[in-house]
A and B are shown apart, each in its own frame.
Chain A
Amino acid sequence: DIQMTQSPSSLSASIGDRVTITCRASQSITNYLNWYQQKPGKAPKFLIYAASSLESGVPSRFSGSGSGTDFTLTISSLQPEDFATYYCQQSYTTPRTFGQGTKVEIK
């Protein structure tokens, strides 16, 4: 199975901060990398596919980059509604696997 490792596991940030979350795959997944946002008690929300393509309706302050084994999710200017847990997920092969999540908290 492909292991997905996110860092950091959690971070504290202020409104307006630039936030970067890293996701590393245990082998190359080319660009078959998706990102999701989850708020407490809610289902995950799909944000980004193919490492860098924004889903329709997702604010442009979210961006993704990377290929191969190393990927990043960046929030350019953190907003109050962005405090949540973020997960990466590979769709290169089955079993589909997720990172362990990165919790973004208010500083």
Chain B
Amino acid sequence: QVLLVQSGAEVQKPGASVRVSCKASGYSFVDYGISWVRQAPGQGLEWMGWVSAYYGDTKYAQKFQDRVTLTTDSSTTTAYMELRSLRSDDTAVYYCTREGQRGASIFFQYWGQGTLVTVSS
């Protein structure tokens, strides 16, 4: 079965960077893109960006364009999200999600368990 297992919780200081990993298994890693979605405490879901596991090309939400880098490593079937210049309002649970596609419809079919990133001095 498809599994996405994320790295553990992080506590970082303002201005620092964080890197969250997402280990994929149960499918051909390079055949699907990975998106990252975050959720601040008590808030809704916010899409950050997408990375192709085959080509490595990326799309980012403009809000995060200057601070986030999404990458993949096909040798370890792992996706990474790095967020720089952290602020207190970056405190959130970060999810990786594997896309699915049926016809022209694309959706977030499988989700990691989430990684809590806390930004605090």
Residues of A near any B CB (own CB < 8 A): 1, 31-32, 34, 36, 38, 43-46, 49-50, 53, 55, 87, 89, 91, 94-101
Dominant SS at the A interface?
A: loop
Complex: A87 Cα to B109 Cα, angstroms: 14
Complex: A44 Cα to B82 Cα, angstroms: 22
Contact call A101/B47, Cβ cutoff below 8 A = no
Pick from B44, B50, B110, B114: contact of A94, CB below 8 A.
B50
- Beyond A43-B95, A44-B111, A87-B45, whether A95 also contacts B61 by CB under 8 A is yes
Residues on B with beta carbons closer than 8 Å to the beta carbon of A94:
50, 59, 61
Answer whether residue B32 sits at the interface, using C-beta atoms and an 8 A cutoff: no
Complex: A1 Cα to B59 Cα, angstroms: 14
- In chain B, positions 64-121 with a C-beta closer than 8 Å to chain A are 95, 100, 102-114
Among A45, A53, A89, A96, max chain B CB count under 10 A is at A96
- Beyond A43-B95, A49-B102, whether A91 also contacts B44 by CB under 8 A is no
Contact call A32/B44, Cβ cutoff below 8 A = no
- Other than the known A43-B113, A50-B105, A95-B59, what 13 A-B pairs have Cβ atoms closer than 8 Å? A36-B45, A38-B45, A43-B111, A46-B110, A46-B111, A49-B107, A53-B102, A87-B44, A89-B45, A89-B108, A94-B50, A96-B47, A101-B44
